[in-house]
């Protein structure tokens, strides 16, 4: 399993789970979500990384929610890690954010639109933290080997993960090409399937991204069946009230039953 500090259940045969809210909206909400997911993943022996963006830089409209303040959100992520003994992951958007975020989290995530940004990848690698690179919606899985090379050549000790989140399909939809999972696994790095962002419906006329959350389980089952190492799921107690990406998030009260079913799928293919 991944060499990430504080990662629980490293010898578990189960898939890795990255899960949490799209954005850090406040301390109490983050801790409440983390506590519920930790309880579930401990019982199911699923290695878990708490996910939360400290800032949302890629928004459709100028007045869209971007965050509660960088330092405030990063300190909440740090508190989640310290409270529950779990690693955390957050996005970075500019090279100078890498060192700042690395003081608080265990995994630095490169957004899909930025996966070709050499300086950003190098800055993340230079911190020595694990780097999770989202595959661009405009790229094949095979082309992601260059992102891996940029990180590994900058810092061979930095763990690398790749995450698929679908490919652009026309102007307002995405489609998942499951050939990308084995292609990216051939680079000898763990591959994660983003089961929520891959169901986005971007570029809507309203300026608010849509989604198809009813298909989260379908994407997750298919990804496990073709050998993904982990799943990425954004979840919220009430997605309709979420300040970011609520249209494609999984209601938190549905997560436990979903993971139980996914564990059985995983066990069936081992």
pLDDT per residue of the chain (270 residues) written in tens, 0 to 9: 454 544 444 445 789 999 999 999 999 999 999 999 999 999 999 999 999 999 877 655 665 667 789 999 999 999 999 999 999 999 999 999 999 999 999 999 999 999 999 999 999 999 999 999 999 999 999 999 999 999 999 999 999 999 999 999 888 789 999 999 999 999 999 999 999 999 977 655 455 566 778 999 999 999 999 999 999 999 999 998 888 777 788 999 999 999 999 999 999 988
Predicted local confidence at residue 205, as pLDDT: 47
Answer for the pair 184, 141: CB distance below 8 angstroms, yes or no. Answer: yes
What tokens appear for 179 in the block?
């050939």
The 8-class DSSP code of residue 13 comes to S
Predicted local confidence at residue 98, as pLDDT: 97
Q: Which of 92, 189, 180, 110 lies closest to 141 in space, CA to CA?
A: 180
Answer for the pair 227, 185: CB distance below 8 angstroms, yes or no. Answer: yes
Q: Are strands 200-201 and 167-168 parallel, antiparallel or unpaired?
A: unpaired
Predicted local confidence at residue 59, as pLDDT: 55
Neighbours of 94 (CB within 10 A): 13
Domain 16-269 is found in CATH 3.20.20.70: yes
Predicted local confidence at residue 77, as pLDDT: 98
Q: CA distances (Å), 270 to each of 4, 61, 178, 190, in order?
A: 24, 45, 19, 17
Answer for the pair 183, 139: CB distance below 8 angstroms, yes or no. Answer: no
Predicted local confidence at residue 192, as pLDDT: 97
Looking at 106-251, which runs of residues are DSSP E strands? 107-110, 130-134, 160-164, 167-168, 174-175, 191-194, 200-201, 210-211, 230-236, 250-251
How many Cα neighbours within 13 Å face the side chain of 135? 33
d(CA 55, CA 3): 26
d(CA 260, CA 20): 17
């Amino acid at each position: 399993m991944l060499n990430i500090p504080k990662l629980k259940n490293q010898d578990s045969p189960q898939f890795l789970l990255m899960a949490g809210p799209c954005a850090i909206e406040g301390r109490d909400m983050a801790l409440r979500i983390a506590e519920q997911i930790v309880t579930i993943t401990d019982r199911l022996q699923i290695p878990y990384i708490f996910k939360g963006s400290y800032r949302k830089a890629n928004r459709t409209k100028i007045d869209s929610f971007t965050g509660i303040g960088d330092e405030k959100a990063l300190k909440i992520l740090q508190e989640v890690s310290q409270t529950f003994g779990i690693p955390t992951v957050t996005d970075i958007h500019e090279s100078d954010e890498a060192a700042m975020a690395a003081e608080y989290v265990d995994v630095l995530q490169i957004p899909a639109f930025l996966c070709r940004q050499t300086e950003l990848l190098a800055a993340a690698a230079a911190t020595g933290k694990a780097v999770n690179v989202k595959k661009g919606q405009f790229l094949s899985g095979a082309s992601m080997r260059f992102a891996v090379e940029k990180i590994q050549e900058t810092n061979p000790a930095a763990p690398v993960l790749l995450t698929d989140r679908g490919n652009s399909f026309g102007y307002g939809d995405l489609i998942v090409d499951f050939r990308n999972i084995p292609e990216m696994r051939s680079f000898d790095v763990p591959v994660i399937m983003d089961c929520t962002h891959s169901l986005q419906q971007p570029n809507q006329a309203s300026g608010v991204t849509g989604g198809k959350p009813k298909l989260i389980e379908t994407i997750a089952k298919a990804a496990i069946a073709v050998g993904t190492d982990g799943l990425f799921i954004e979840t919220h107690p009430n997605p309709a009230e979420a300040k970011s990406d609520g249209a494609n998030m999984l209601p938190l009260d549905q997560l436990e039953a979903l993971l139980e079913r996914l564990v059985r799928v995983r066990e069936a293919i081992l």
